[in-house]
Amino acid sequence: MTERLEDVVAPRPVVRRDDVFSGRIFDVVRDSVDLGGGGEAGEGDQAGTVTREYVDHPGAVAVVALDAEDRVALVDQYRHPVRSVLWEVPAGLLDVEGEPAHVGAARELAEEADLVAQRWDVLADFLTSPGGSNEALRVYLARELSPVPVGERHVRTDEEAAMQVRWVPLDDAVAAVLDGSLHNPSTVVGVLAAHASRAGGWASLRPVDAPWPYRRGTLPS
């Protein structure tokens, strides 16, 4: 029997934590981590204690909203760190204390794309940059879509003020990922996962409350 391929939550003891930076969305922390073996890192074969700085992030959700014609809803947004307007699936932070992730995803879909969905499934989970951040992101598949009534739509501000919604055939979105035209990680993961899951008759989809060990507050500190 082939051994199951899966990541394993296996925290090492944090012997000291320092706050390096506190920001509006995320913080930067410095952990001294005991990797075992004693001594300081670099002393022969002994792992010992190492220092790691990383972004402490609340986590996020993203939504592949797929209509009856197999088109995915993409929104454009200016992303200042990369000085670019990116086409993205609707997404947002998990910054509401105690909010179920799928509820946050539904909120983001309504706010960014003016859409509501009757059918929700978990499509994929990923860690955006595990070498430098604890940000965990869950991608949902949303189907059976309908528009938010005009009078109930969210008023978008800042970078979202000029946001447009574009409906793109899923196959075209996959091609744009593979030819290097799309770069947002949630979009890349989401459209490729949707394409693969559709090819398998959607058998890979998981329920909205599927275990998510990497969501902030779930991992041991």
CA distance 48 to 187: 39
Among residues 141, 134, 100, 103, the alpha carbon closest in space to that of 119 is found at: 141
Helix axes 185-199, 170-178, angle to 10 degrees: 130
* pLDDT value of residue 43: 47
pLDDT at residue 44 is higher than 50: no
Beta bridge partners of 17: 31
Task: Please give the average per-residue pLDDT across 68-91, as a whole number.
Answer: 96
Mean local confidence (pLDDT), 123-131: 96
Let me know whether 133 and 189 are in one domain. yes
Same domain, 38 and 70: no
Average pLDDT on 47-51 reads 87
Are 122 and 177 contained in the same domain?
yes
| pLDDT above 70 as % of the chain | 93
pTM for the model stands at 0.90
Cα 150 from chain centroid? 28
Percentage of residues in the chain having pLDDT higher than 90: 78
pLDDT for 151 = 72
Please check the confidence at residue 45 and state whether its pLDDT lies above 70: no
**Are 72 and 38 in a shared domain?**
no
Q: What is the pLDDT of residues 190-216, one digit of tens each?
A: 999 999 999 999 999 999 999 999 998
**Residue of higher predicted confidence among 57 and 37:** 57
Number of domains forming the structure of the chain: 2
Q: Which of 6, 69, 144, 160 is catalytic?
A: 160
Closest CA to 190 of 69, 105, 118, 110: 105
Mean pLDDT along residues 75-95:
95
* Residues 45 and 66 placed together within one structural domain of the fold: no
Based on the domain organization, do 35 and 96 belong to the same domain?
no
CA dist 47 and 32 (Å) reads 12
Q: Based on the residue annotation, tell me whether 160 is a catalytic residue of this protein.
A: yes
- Domain-located, residue 215: no
Instruction: Answer yes or no: is pLDDT of 25 > 90.
Output: no
Phi/psi of residue 113, nearest 5 degrees: -120, 0
Q: Residue 159's pLDDT is what?
A: 67
Q: Where are the beta strands (DSSP E) in 66-114?
A: 71-79, 84-88, 91-93
CA distance 72 to 206: 19
Domain of residue 29 covers: 14-56
